[in-house]
Amino acid sequence: MRLTLCVFLVLVALSFVAGQRQNCQYSNGATKYDFSSMYNNTQYTYTNTSKASTYYFNICGTAQICTQKANNVDSAACQMSGTSYFDCGHLKTATWQGLPNGVSGAQVTYKDGAACSKSIRQTSLILQCSQAQTTVVSAGEIQPCIYAITINSKLACPTTGTTSTTGVTTTGQTTSAGPTTTSGTTTGGTTSGGDNGHKGGIGGGWIFVIILLCSATVYIVAGIIINYKVRGLQGKELFPNVTFWSDTLPGLLKDGVLFIKGKITGTGGQTGSYQQI
């Protein structure tokens, strides 16, 4: 029984971890985008050497180092200055909008980061369609506590509709705090975490589904074999831990529902009442 409960809790935890990704489909009129392939298994990294700052972020998911160092499991972007990490926006607050001047791509903004002297930190990722591999062009603080990161990628191009690509050198999209680019070479900063972070693999959600299905199959088949061969059980008793699944678990779920209902209604979750004497 304890083993069953432990397996159940582990699967719930895996479900939570796998859920830290986001549906990244965006439509701008008839032009549709799907940025989910730009997700990185850990995070993207960009170091602005002129400002002595390093930016970590992810697209369509949380940034691993930000969830660990910036103390928020929903952090999609953070800044490292010196030895300190500052949360710069949460995945659940993501809002999408098109790019100006007819440039193909979109901008996603993560809000509700850590407080700073002027306001609450937030980060905008400017995802521009280009014919190049995924490249972080610039990253910097465009206003106090407001950050902008520009990324060029062929993965940021529309899935349907008209495509207006930018070159590796951006026009009017590079942030003032970032480096300049010439013929695709970045100066003033270093980047890592491009296409290699996600290409050729499957996402965490599919990994969780595969593990769940395999674990459930092994649990049921092995349990039935043991109950039949070793314990000599028949009928519905062949199913492993049938009492737990048919009696105990439904009872626990019912008690939980009644408890929550009692907290909401103020009845204490009691199924009956006591007569006052």
Same domain, 166 and 223: no
pLDDT over 90 for what percent of the chain?
42
CA count, 13 A, side-chain hemisphere, 45: 14
Task: Write down which residue in 143, 173, 197 finishes a domain.
Answer: 197
Residue 200, pLDDT > 60, answer no
Chain segment 122-180, per-residue pLDDT in tens:
999 999 999 989 999 999 999 999 999 999 999 999 987 655 544 433 333 333 333 33
Rounded CA separation 131/41 (Å): 23
The number of distinct structural domains making up the chain is 2
Instruction: Name the residue with higher pLDDT: 93 or 194.
Output: 93
Same domain, 246 and 120: no
pTM for the structure as a whole: 0.56
Chain segment 203-223, per-residue pLDDT in tens:
677 788 889 899 989 999 998
Chain segment 219-246, per-residue pLDDT in tens:
999 989 998 888 888 888 888 888 888 8
Q: What CATH number is attached to the domain comprising 178?
A: 2.70.130.10
HEC per residue, 27-72 = EECCEEEECHHHCCCCCEEEEECCCCEEEEECCCECCHHHHHHCCC
Q: Is residue 165 part of a domain?
A: yes
Same domain, 233 and 257: yes
CA-angle at 221, arms to 219 and 227, nearest 5°: 95
Q: Which DSSP state fits 115?
A: B
HEC per residue, 151-206 = EEEHHHCCCECCCCCECCCCCCCCCCCCCCEECCEECCEEEECCHHHCCCCCCHHH
Host domain of residue 137: 23-197
pLDDT, position 237:
85
